[in-house]
Amino acid sequence: MSNTRMILVGGFLGAGKTTLLTQAAQRLAAKGKLVAVVANDQAANLVDTGTLRSAGLHVGEVAGGCFCCRFDQFLDECGKLARESKPDIILGEPVGSCTDISATVLQPVKDLHAEDYSLAPFTVLADPQRLREALAEGAASNFPDSVGYIFRKQVEEADLIIINKTDTLTEAEIAELKALVAKHAPGTPVLTLSALTGAGVDAWLDRVLSETSAGTRITEVDYDTYADGEAVLGWLNATAQLHAVGEPDWDAFCLSLMEQMQGEFRARSAEVAHAKLLLTTTGGRITVNLTATAGKPSLNGRAERTAQDALLVINARVRMEPEDLRAVVERSVQAVCNGQVEARITSIASFKPGRPQPTHRYAAVVS
């Protein structure tokens, strides 16, 4: 197997990792590079996998735990992609609620698979709102501090920190966030970009393609606090087959479904870490994202009105009990269909992640 560049991008749920990887892959492909992606989640049926594949990318998937707890499966997926598509670059996106990636993924790759993979600096992508909540002194948050602990540990272990969504920020806000990061992670390089518009993506790619220092630090992690933080969220992955009665408006359907769920979350004071929908037809694709209960759903893509059949994938990570989250999603689908769309839920899983149990954990940085 040839030595393949491996670029891993961490960061909390809703930071924009999949959007960034899609942008990066498309830009790299335009330069003649072959790119593959490994998606990751606590369960199967990922919106991210569908989104990446619909962009024409070769995609592997590690489900049932983070790269750290499914390390062998992660390397198997990378090896399979390397054999089948022979990429120059593999992009990877660990689960957004996971940390300690340096000790449990980067060091083992450097130690055990250096002949196969050349690691790029580990990038942690940050949403501005979550960054303030986790790092600013006295900042209010709708999540308990155990969740903030995970985010802070993600920032601490990064080789490179990216403040995303600059299209929503003023210059003064960007300066404020950079100062927060510098105080919490002194010496770690900080870049800014908008994964949505693409501004700043090329500058980030230049760094992760040229620099060779990866996994330069290992942080101390309290796994009890880490496990508590992950268990705060209920997780749900579901798929459904849809059939429209008459001419469908899939854009309106998807937006209405997310707004229906958002209304139920708001009524229960249940904070959203990330909720996302992917609807695909034979000739179109729609995604809707919501990254905070008080936020505004964002819709991207288009599906033709002549397509009466569609596949819907729902992923939600929300501060509520899994059985309540499942009930909210099932009620919301039923309410939005309202006789105009027939929906058959073909799979649904709701749960809380188990305690992280990494395959490896290195105590020292591998040179």
d(CA 300, CA 278): 10
Q: Are 140 and 148 within 8 A, CB to CB?
A: no
Element (H, E) at 29: helix 17-30
Q: Which residue do the tokens 């003064």 mark?
A: 172
Q: Which residue do the tokens 């288009």 mark?
A: 302
DSSP 167: G
For residue 244, the SS3 value is strand
- Please count the helices (runs of H) and the strands (runs of E) in the chain: 12, 14
d(CA 319, CA 328): 13
Q: Are 154 and 130 within 8 A, CB to CB?
A: no
Tokens of 311: 């596949």
Dihedral sign (CA 297, 300, 306, 309) = negative
Count of C-beta atoms within a 10 Å radius of residue 139: 13
d(CA 70, CA 79): 14
> Where exactly are the structural domains of the chain?
4-215+224-229, 233-351
CA atoms within 13 A on the CB side of 10: 29
- What does the pLDDT look like over 174-233, one tens digit per residue? 999 999 999 999 999 999 999 999 999 999 999 999 998 999 999 999 999 999 999 999
- What does the pLDDT look like over 140-154, one tens digit per residue? 899 999 999 999 999
As assigned by CATH, the class of the 233-351 domain is alpha beta
Q: What is the pLDDT of residue 45?
A: 76
**Of 97, 104, 90, the residue nearest 8 (C-alpha):** 90
Q: What is the pLDDT of residue 2?
A: 59
Q: Are 330 and 302 within 8 A, CB to CB?
A: no
205-228: burial string, b at 16+ Cβ within 10 Å, e else:
bebbbeeeebbbbbeebeeeebbb
Q: DSSP labels for 257-276?
A: HHHHHHHHHHHTT--EEEEE
**Going along 87-137, which residue ranges are E strands?**
89-92, 117-119, 123-126
**Going along the chain, which residue ranges are E strands?**
4-10, 35-41, 58-63, 89-92, 117-119, 123-126, 160-163, 190-192, 234-244, 272-281, 284-290, 298-302, 309-318, 341-351
Write down the pTM of the prediction. 0.93
247-265: burial string, b at 16+ Cβ within 10 Å, e else:
ebebbebbbbbbbbbbebb
d(CA 367, CA 362): 12
Element (H, E) at 73: helix 71-85
Q: What is the pLDDT of residue 46?
A: 78
Q: What is the pLDDT of residue 277?
A: 97
Q: Are 313 and 277 within 8 A, CB to CB?
A: yes
Dihedral sign (CA 272, 321, 268, 229) = negative
Spatial CB neighbours of 79, under 8 Å, sequence gap ≥ 6: 1, 116
Q: What is the pLDDT of residue 42?
A: 84
Q: State which amino acid sits at residue 347.
A: S
Is it true that 4-215+224-229 and 233-351 share their CATH fold? Answer: no
pLDDT means per 10 residues in the chain (367 residues)?
Answer: 88 94 95 95 81 85 94 97 95 96 98 96 97 91 95 98 98 97 96 97 98 96 97 97 94 97 98 97 94 96 90 97 98 95 97 96 97
**Of 138, 136, 166, the residue nearest 152 (C-alpha):** 136
4-215+224-229 domain in CATH 3.40.50.300?
yes
Phi, psi (5° rounding) for residue 214?
-135, 140
Spatial CB neighbours of 245, under 8 Å, sequence gap ≥ 6: 339, 340, 341, 342
